[in-house]
């Protein structure tokens, strides 16, 4: 299957910490083909068509910050569009104090946008922001092609990358919540809203076909949302049960969080050999992956890879993925991974910490990890070292700094609280094994009657060892 991926390094994946990456091969084997659309030309039907992203023009409104910030925002939008399978043809930036309430970019810029769309042959315009329904409608009417906003783009990426039952349900819920407020019953042609005799003889003031269609769609969406919410509650109970089992066994948990495409999955693969999908794309991983790991002194803990964050993460997505994101808030330690090669790593850190605060994980212990140091600018790394002296600098690709990271994680794992001295009989080797796995040995000595141990353990294990307590 290696020939399916356009990557010269695919043949070397057997020795790679990322494993065979069969899931990535499957994802790359199915591609959108540009120019194969048979969609209607009438944009009045646009809300009832599948989202098409083939040849796109990007539009952004620069309201605050520097020129560098505006360029970084446009570059991120370009990466999002390419991740969704688009070919980016052109990008326009409008400098204004606030977005135009009618068209987002203003009347003059709309005319310029239409000229660019005609000249490039684009079929879609992507706006960097969450547009109101009226703004989307006005832009579509004046530009003549499909217009979507940043939120719809991210939702489309999530929909194509979700693979688990929970992930698919979460994405569908977010999509429906977004769509419910953006249904349209009429457009350039008025046949979908009519009165009098045209409205099936309903008379003046009667509902037309367009309005009826909207009501039907909204009712179906509401019903489907209820079904999905019920399904997610059931799945959340399963996740909570597994989490409670780990808590009951007092297994420390480490959650890997960070900006999308910061290298979280690569880091998990390097630390545990998990073989999680790795792709140089935004939101490549949506479903959390938990793997068992073990410290040098034998203590067991878990590492969980989570969905990546991004600036202005859509609210509907945060709500839909709340149960998944709660893996971060319930962790004992957060590995906050930062892409050191990014143009604005400090902005990444701020964006991630904002989302962590939104999900109630701001108070969890955090270890900053700067990844991709092999591709980062030395000046940027120097600035990061100056501002974050406790950060660990690694490269998941080359393995540089991974051993230091392991030691740092083990140092910051919660320590067993109870110190006990016990003479454990030789027929209770299971207790000795549990001390190795869940506790810390201070000393051990083999005697005539059993193993005399001094150890730090959790409260449950201390209770079982209490019957063998020794003062000798």
**Model-level pTM greater than 0.75?**
no
pLDDT band for position 340 (cuts 50, 70, 90): very high
What is the chain's mean pLDDT, rounded? 76
Phi-psi region of 283 (alpha: psi -120 to 50; beta: other; left: phi over 0): left
Measured at the CA of 26, the angle between CA 373 and CA 13, to 5 degrees, comes to 45
Q: How confident is the model over 114-158, as pLDDT tens digits?
A: 999 999 989 889 998 888 888 888 898 899 888 888 888 888 888
pLDDT band for position 244 (cuts 50, 70, 90): low
Lowest mean pLDDT, pick from 186-200, 265-279, 322-336: 186-200
Residue of higher predicted confidence among 383 and 197: 383
Whole-number percent of the chain with pLDDT over 70: 74
Q: Kindly give, in sequence order, each residue whose CB lies less than 8 Å from that of residue 128, ignoring residues fewer than 6 positions away.
A: 58, 59, 60, 61, 73, 74, 77, 149, 150
pLDDT at residue 394 in the model: 93
Q: How confident is the model over 46-61, as pLDDT tens digits?
A: 444 444 557 899 998 8
Main-chain phi, psi angles of 70, to 5 degrees: -65, -40
pLDDT at position 193 over 80: no
Identify the sign of the CA torsion 68, 75, 352, 105. positive
Rg (CA), the chain: 27
pLDDT band for position 307 (cuts 50, 70, 90): confident
């Amino acid at each position: 299957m290696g020939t399916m991926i356009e990557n010269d390094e695919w043949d070397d994946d057997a020795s790679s910490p990322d494993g065979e990456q069969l899931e990535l091969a499957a994802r790359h084997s199915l591609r959108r083909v540009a120019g194969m659309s048979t969609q209607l030309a009438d944009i009045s039907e646009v809300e009832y068509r599948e989202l098409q992203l083939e040849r796109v023009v990007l539009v952004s409104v620069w309201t605050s910050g520097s020129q560098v910030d505006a360029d970084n925002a446009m570059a991120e939008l370009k990466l999002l569009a390419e991740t969704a399978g688009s070919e980016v043809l052109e990008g326009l930036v409008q400098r204004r104090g606030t977005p135009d309430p009618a068209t987002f970019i203003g009347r003059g810029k709309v005319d310029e946008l239409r000229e660019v769309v005609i000249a490039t042959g684009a079929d879609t315009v992507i706006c960097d922001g969450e547009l109101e329904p009226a703004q989307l409608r006005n832009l579509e009417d004046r530009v003549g092609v499909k217009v979507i906003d940043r939120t719809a783009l991210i939702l489309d990426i999530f929909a194509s990358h979700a693979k688990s039952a929970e992930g698919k349900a979460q994405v569908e819920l977010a999509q429906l919540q977004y769509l419910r407020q953006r249904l349209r019953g009429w457009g350039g042609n008025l046949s979908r809203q009519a009165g009098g005799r045209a409205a099936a003889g309903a008379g003046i003031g009667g509902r037309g076909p367009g309005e009826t269609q909207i009501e039907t769609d909204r009712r179906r969406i509401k019903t489907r949302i209820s079904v999905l919410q019920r399904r997610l509650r059931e799945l959340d109970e399963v996740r909570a049960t597994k989490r409670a089992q780990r808590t009951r066994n007092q297994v420390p948990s480490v959650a890997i969080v960070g900006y999308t495409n910061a290298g979280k999955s690569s880091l998990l693969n390097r630390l545990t050999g998990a073989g999680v999908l790795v792709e140089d794309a935004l939101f490549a991983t949506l479903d959390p992956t938990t793997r068992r790991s073990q410290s040098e002194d034998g203590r067991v803990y878990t590492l969980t890879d989570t969905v990546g964050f991004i600036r202005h993460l859509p609210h509907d997505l945060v709500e839909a993925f709340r149960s998944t994101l709660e893996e971060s808030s319930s962790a004992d330690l957060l590995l906050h991974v930062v892409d050191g090669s990014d143009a604005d790593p400090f902005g990444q850190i701020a964006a991630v910490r904002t989302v962590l605060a939104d999900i109630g994980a701001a108070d969890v212990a955090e270890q900053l990890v700067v990844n991709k140091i092999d591709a980062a600018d030395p000046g940027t790394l120097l600035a990061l070292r100056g501002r974050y002296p406790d950060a660990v600098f690694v490269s998941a690709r080359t393995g540089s700094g991974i051993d230091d990271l392991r030691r740092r994680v083990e140092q910051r794992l919660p320590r067993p609280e109870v110190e006990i001295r016990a003479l454990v009989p030789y027929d209770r080797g299971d207790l000795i094994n549990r001390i190795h796995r869940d506790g810390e040995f201070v000393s051990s000595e083999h005697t005539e009657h059993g193993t005399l141990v001094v150890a730090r353990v959790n409260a449950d294990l201390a209770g079982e060892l209490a019957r063998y307590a020794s003062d000798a």
